Amino acid sequence: MKTRSLATGIGLSLVCTLVWIPSAANASLLLGSSVFGEKYDWSSPGVATTILGNQFDPVYGFVLPGYGNSTGPTTTIVDPGIEFDVSASPTNFATLDFTDSTLTLTKVIPSLSVIGGNEFVFTDTAFSGLTVTKTQDSFDNGGVTAQLVGDTLTLTLAPTCILGPGCSWTSLTETAQFSFSGSSTPQSVPEPATLSLLGAGLLGMFMRRRRNKAA
């Protein structure tokens, strides 16, 4: 009876060992990761300037309370919650909102005749291994481009001109959205072959012990 119970137990253990393989498919891509953000204006078309410094850093006075970067340009990605804000005035601001798999840039301007180029740079180890795809873009004059290389994502709002005739928004509020896909920082997942060998080894030990007793 004890031998039969032991055999049953090992058999069940082997089945569980072969079947229970944690899946990484449901693992988070970005939630909970730490992201460092930078925002710069263009001093002239195609030339980013750091005269004002990183405007995502509240020390420069462009960040409103209540946003993720209110205490500094490094913040944790949460949902709900907006990670980055930069505000020149209540009618001239931009927010960047990450979720687990998306990023939404919203820019509000005070006048349809004002155009300005921006560069947003985000660094996060969770970006490694991911790809980024633009899914929505209502920005005028070329829209927003995204480039993801390693752990660094760069968004560029590059109008064809900065000010003057022909350079104007069609709306006071513009948005662009991007989606992330792929596999983020790999998580430790047991290999099926390793689990199978372990189960087979346990079963082999039992069978050998049983034969020795029978002899």
**For the residues of 113-167, what is the DSSP string, one character each?**
T----EEEEEE-GGGTTEEEEEEEE--STT-EEEEEETTEEEEEE--S-SSSTT-
Residue 86: name the closest of 45, 136, 41, 151 by CA.
Answer: 41
At residue 2, does pLDDT exceed 80?
Answer: no
Does residue 101 register a pLDDT over 80? yes
Mean pLDDT, residues 139-161: 84
Q: How confident is the model at residue 80 (pLDDT cuts 50, 70, 90)?
A: very high
pLDDT at 185: 55
pLDDT reported for residue 76: 98
23, pLDDT greater than 70: no
Does residue 146 carry a pLDDT above 90?
yes
In whole angstroms, give the CA distance from residue 180 to residue 182.
7
